[in-house]
Each structure stands twice: as structure tokens, then as C-alpha cells.
């Protein structure tokens, strides 16, 4: 299967700072990537769709100014959590579509203190 790599796997930041999470497709090109958020013991909630060369599309209720997404190349999408607050603490996971399937990164555990 296709390989998606996410970095970092965990990060702790101070309230008010910004954090960038990277998602790379290692052995294929991905024009579309997806960002999910997962709370403890819950399912994955789609936050946004990252489109190479164009603006991301956000799901209802997701603040686009809080969660900045950039898809600058066919193998890299980044999610920046701006002015992070403790309520932004969560597990963030990216995925990339290859053929009709979605492959996921390892996830990033964000803790805002």
C-alpha cells in the first residue's frame, strides 16, 4: 500500500503559540489530502480537504483561520494550528487518497499547556 508520513508524532506547545504539522506522501503523488481530528475514545472527524495548488475546503464548524492548511506540492500538506489554546489539544491525523483508498499518517498528539 501507499505510505503516508506525518511529523511530528507529538508536540507540546504553550498557549498562544502556533504549531505546524506536516503530512507527506512518500511513494506516490497526492493531489488531495485530508486532515482529521480525533478526541479520546471517539471516531475521526474530518476537518478539511487539502487541495494541491488551491485553497483547502473546510468542514462546517471548522475555523479556517485557526487551522491553516497549505498544500504546496504533490507530496506535502501542512496544518498549522494558530494561536493554540488548551481546547485545541487533540490527536490530528492526515490521510492521502491513492486510487480509491485513503492511507493515513501516524498521527500527531498536540498538547497545549
Which residues of this chain interact with another protein, rule CB under 8 A?
1, 4, 6, 32, 34, 36, 42-46, 49, 91, 93, 95, 97, 100-107, 109
| Shortest reach from residue 49's CB to another protein, in Å | 6
Buried b (16+ CB within 10 A) or exposed e, 79-102: bebeebeeebbbbbbbbbbbeeee
Question: How would you classify residue 45: left for phi > 0, otherwise alpha for psi between -120 and 50, otherwise beta?
Answer: beta
Q: Which is nearer to another protein, 1 or 86 (CB)?
A: 1
| Shortest reach from residue 95's CB to another protein, in Å | 7
Q: Name the nearest CA neighbour of 20 among 34, 8, 3, 4.
A: 8
Q: Which is nearer to another protein, 6 or 25 (CB)?
A: 6
Quote the CA–CA distance of 104 and 83 in Å, as a whole number. Answer: 26
Q: Which is nearer to another protein, 8 or 16 (CB)?
A: 8
| Shortest reach from residue 16's CB to another protein, in Å | 26
Amino acid at each position: 500500500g501507499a505510505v503516508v508520513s506525518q511529523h511530528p508524532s507529538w508536540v507540546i506547545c504553550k498557549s498562544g503559540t502556533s504549531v505546524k504539522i506536516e503530512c507527506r506522501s512518500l511513494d506516490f503523488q497526492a493531489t488531495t489530502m485530508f486532515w482529521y481530528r480525533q478526541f479520546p475514545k471517539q471516531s475521526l472527524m474530518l476537518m478539511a480537504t487539502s487541495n494541491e495548488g488551491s485553497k483547502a475546503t473546510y468542514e462546517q464548524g471548522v475555523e479556517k483561520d485557526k487551522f491553516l492548511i497549505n498544500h504546496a506540492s504533490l507530496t506535502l500538506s501542512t496544518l498549522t494550528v494558530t494561536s493554540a489554546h488548551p481546547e485545541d489539544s487533540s490527536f490530528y491525523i492526515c490521510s492521502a487518497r491513492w486510487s480509491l483508498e485513503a492511507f493515513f499518517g501516524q498521527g500527531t498528539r498536540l498538547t497545549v499547556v
